[in-house]
Amino acid sequence: MASVSVRKESNTLYLDFRYMGRRCREQTNFKNTVANKRRLEKLLVVIEAEIMAGTFRYAKHFPDSKGAHRFAEEELKLHDPKEWSLKQEQQVVPIFEEYVLGWLERHKVAWRKSHIVNIESMINKHYLPYFGGMEISSITRNDLLKFRTALAKVPGRNGRESLSNTRINKIMDPLRRIFEDAAEEFHFITPYIRIKQLKSHKTDVQPFTFEEVNLLLDKVRTDYRDYYLIRFFTGMRTGEIDGLKWKYVDFTKRIIKIRETIVAGEEDITKTESSIRDIHMSQPVYEAFKRVKANTWRFGKFVFCNREGEALNHCNVTKRVWYPMLKRLGIEKRRPYQTRHTAATLWLAAGESPEWIAMQMGHSNTEMLFRVYSRYVPNLTRMDGSAMDKLLAEKLEGRHAV
């Protein structure tokens, strides 16, 4: 469980390790940089090796620490190697707060920034207030069920009386992994058993009709027309278009290279491996990029940016441009993400290959395409059997007419 962590108030690093069955945290003056973190991680390796060998002395590494005085007497008593070994093997099960913060630090290296922010929010807003001071091995299945019931009473977003079942399931899911890891480390049975997900209503996608797309593009603010045109006809995710850089726009091959995204104002890798893709530019999209290039290239690396050259703040744009426009035109309020769904349905309606559409969308296969979007195709084309009638009429040429 030893780790190098960051104290948010000062942005400095501290060591977090166990010694003689107790948790020890030693603050440093080192700022949170990669070089400093590596330096302290090396020190931590030495400390852990000395602890295992029975040669560690607290005052040697931390002479001014309160821990040096606290452990000094005990260290003097433990001259017998067997006694030392027994003392070290004493395993004190931590409280939930202590364990989950260490668990978070160990997993951060494998997660995207957006996921880290999401998990940290769940921990601070929901987990710690409820489980924080409880010994992690003492938490029962009934405690978890009570916690889930408490979540159902938390006010939801946009004035909703409570959190949706979908949101509750997303908050509960990381707890399964936390307790599985803790149970393996401290040798107890995980309490997260026989807890099924709550039934949640499937959220329908709400693509815009071609008539609505034309209306929106006609009435939107001139400086945002090309931004939304490209969104409607490429299917890019919000973070992908807001984080798009000019170096990834290939005018010669007429492709948009999706290699990065922007999440919570920070540049990041794409959502999934299949999200790394090349999107074909239709003629309207190609012309839109040429217009944007003429107007904004001088501001910086991002295709769409503010006057300081920084990437657009999607929350600001949505509240200031998108929603007011929908309200003004009398179009049902929908998230900007529906532009992505619109692109998929328009491609399907145009008769493009499902495999090609899946690649343009960044899906690993066509499963989601058929499951989510195909039911909208009859509303856009005459996919009602008339195509087969036409084929038979052309090929049979009346040979089997009665």
- Say how many domains are in the chain: 3
- 235 and 334, same domain (yes or no): yes
How far is 270 from 264, CA to CA, in rounded Å?
Answer: 13
Question: Are residues 122 and 85 located together in one domain of the fold?
Answer: no
Q: Which two tokens stand for residue 38?
A: 């590596």
Give the pLDDT confidence score for residue 399 in this predicted structure: 53
The dihedral sign for the CA sequence 242, 377, 212, 329: negative
Tens of pLDDT along the chain (402 residues)? Answer: 678 888 888 899 999 888 877 788 899 999 999 899 999 999 998 998 888 777 888 989 999 898 888 888 777 766 555 655 555 555 578 899 989 998 998 888 888 888 888 999 999 999 999 999 999 999 999 999 999 999 999 988 766 788 999 999 999 999 999 999 999 888 889 999 999 999 987 767 899 998 999 999 999 999 999 999 999 999 999 999 999 999 999 999 999 999 998 887 778 777 677 789 999 999 999 999 999 998 876 678 899 988 888 888 999 999 999 999 999 999 999 999 999 999 999 998 888 888 999 999 999 888 888 888 877 766 555 555 555 666 666 666 555 444
Res 395: pLDDT: 60
Lookup: tokens for 379: 């509303």
Domain check: are 270 and 365 in the same one? yes
Closest CA to 256 of 343, 318, 317, 376: 343
Q: Which two tokens stand for residue 113?
A: 């920034």
Residues 231 and 372 both lie in one domain: yes
Domain boundary among 89, 123, 143: 89
Of the candidates 277, 225, 274, 227, the one whose C-alpha atom is nearest the C-alpha of residue 248 is 277
Amino acid at 294: A
Note whether 373 and 224 are same-domain residues. Answer: yes
Joined together, the tokens standing for residue 386 give 């008339």
Please tell me whether residues 76 and 117 are part of one structural domain: no
- Look at residues 43, 69, 89 and tell me which one is the last residue of a structural domain: 89
CB neighbours of residue 311 within 10 Å: 22
Q: State whether 128 and 253 are in the same domain.
A: no
> Are 270 and 348 within one domain?
yes
Q: Is residue 293 part of a domain?
A: yes
Angstrom distance (rounded) from CA 162 to CA 151 = 8
Asked if residue 262 belongs to a domain, the reply is: yes
pLDDT at 99: 92
Reading the block at residue 39, the tokens are 């330096």
Alpha helices in 32-112 (DSSP H): 34-53, 58-61, 66-77, 81-89, 96-107
For the record, the structure tokens of 372 come out as: 């989510």
Q: Please report how many Cα atoms fall inside a 13 Å half-sphere around the Cα of residue 226, on the Cβ side.
A: 18
- Does any domain span residue 22? yes
In a domain, 292, yes or no: yes
Query: Looking at the domain assignment, is residue 374 inside a domain?
Result: yes
Per-residue pLDDT at 294: 87
**What is the distance of C-alpha 97 from the center of its chain?**
23
What pLDDT does 75 receive?
Answer: 77
Predicted local distance difference test score (pLDDT) of residue 78: 60
Tokens of 238: 């919000």
Q: Among 89, 106, 136, identify where a domain stops.
A: 89
Query: Which run of H or of E encompasses 98?
Result: helix 96-107
Q: What is the CATH number of the domain that holds 353?
A: 1.10.443.10
Q: Are residues 316 and 372 in the same domain?
A: yes
- pLDDT reported for residue 57: 87
Give the separation between CA 245 and CA 223, rounded to whole angstroms.
18
Residues 321 and 251 in one domain: yes
Residues 118 and 44 in one domain: no
30 sits in which H/E element:
strand 22-31
Considering the domain boundaries, does residue 195 fall inside one? no
Model's pTM, two decimal places? 0.65
Domain that holds residue 165: 96-186
Residue 367: its pLDDT value, please?
A: 86
**Dihedral over Cα of 332, 336, 337, 343: its sign:** positive
For 315, phi then psi, to 5°, come to: -65, -40
Q: Do 164 and 260 lie in a common domain?
A: no
